[in-house]
A and B are shown apart, each in its own frame.
Chain A
Amino acid sequence: MNLYTYASPANFYHLAGKLIPWFAWSAGLLTVWGLYISFFLAPTDFQQSEAYRIIFIHVPAAWMSMFIYLVMAFWGAIGLAFNTRLSFMMARALAPTGALFTFIALWTGALWGKPMWGAWWVWDARLTSELILLFLYVGIIALWAAIDDVKRGDRAGSLLTLIGVINVPIIYFSVKWWNTLHQGSSINLTKAPSMAAIMLQGMLVMAIAAWLYTIAVTLVRVRRIILERERHTDWAKAILEAK
């Protein structure tokens, strides 16, 4: 099997159709497992009592918000460099879910900040850069929606994505570079995690579930975009007639 086969929208459309149920179901099962760990296995935190349980959605959502942006920028860069059609479609398909996770990270952060810091919102570097990420997502989606010419829209949106990518390391390192109210990371690549193993496990299970969910909805969305753009081809016509 040649991997490049799936760079063709027609083949990818069918492959994605087969993969979606697998990703969706495993996302659902892992969410159930993750929630069970979050609420029934993870113990009460000695400092934050039960309020810390927000971590099981807050941290995975914040990771996804940054990671989806990087993947979007990757596809945008590939599209700009090699003019591959499917890459731009992938970038477009990822953006709404990225915006969704950014919103969830901000929302759960506010609900966590209020009982712990006494404020729903503060203009510290971590929170502000994450808010800018939400504006970037919304701006990119709006730019794509505003340009009728598909090819020009693809390029403009991907260019904006690439410019905005500078914000991702700013978010990630903000807690190190500046004195933020937001706490530093409990997990990083060089040190052992500074949290109980079962809490870490719950967080990771939820993060993997968020990942699988993202893949499932992105594939659904990219199939719609493929069908729309390929409607003049014989294979797309055949699909539309069959339905």
Chain B
Amino acid sequence: MEWASWSEFWHMAGYGLYVWGSYAVTLAAILIEVILLKRAGTDTRRRLKRMQQWEEQ
């Protein structure tokens, strides 16, 4: 274990901005991809269903 305290952990020997900036943006990017993917899935399904009902009429 490298860290004496949590504040030392967040500080990252003065490189906190760079280290956490990297990890935070990576996490955000992945979350955005997953959310968009979920939304696109339901949208597509809804649209296809509507098209199908339309074609059956």
Contacts and interface: CB of A to CB of B under 8 A. Distances in A.
Given A58-B22, A240-B48, A220 B29 contact: no
A86 B50 CA distance: 25
B49 A240 contact: yes
Give the secondary structure class of B's interface.
helix
Nearest to A105: B26
B18 A57 contact: no
Contact of A51 (B15, B29, B41): B15
B2 A40 contact: yes
Interface residues of B, number: 29
A97 B40 contact: no
B38 to A, nearest CB: 8
Contact of A224 (B3, B15, B41, B52): B41
Main secondary structure of the interface of A (DSSP, over half): helix
Interface of B: 1-3, 9, 12-15, 17-19, 21-23, 25-26, 29-30, 33-34, 37, 40-41, 44-45, 48-49, 51-52
Interface of A: 39-40, 43-44, 49-51, 53-54, 57-58, 61, 96-97, 100, 103-104, 107-108, 111-112, 114-115, 213, 217, 220-221, 224, 227-228, 231, 237, 240-241, 243
17 contacts: A40-B1, A40-B2, A43-B2, A44-B2, A50-B14, A51-B12, A51-B13, A51-B15, A57-B22, A57-B23, A97-B33, A112-B18, A112-B22, A224-B41, A224-B44, A231-B48, A237-B52
Q: Which 3 A-B pairs have the closest CB atoms?
A: A51-B15, A108-B22, A50-B12
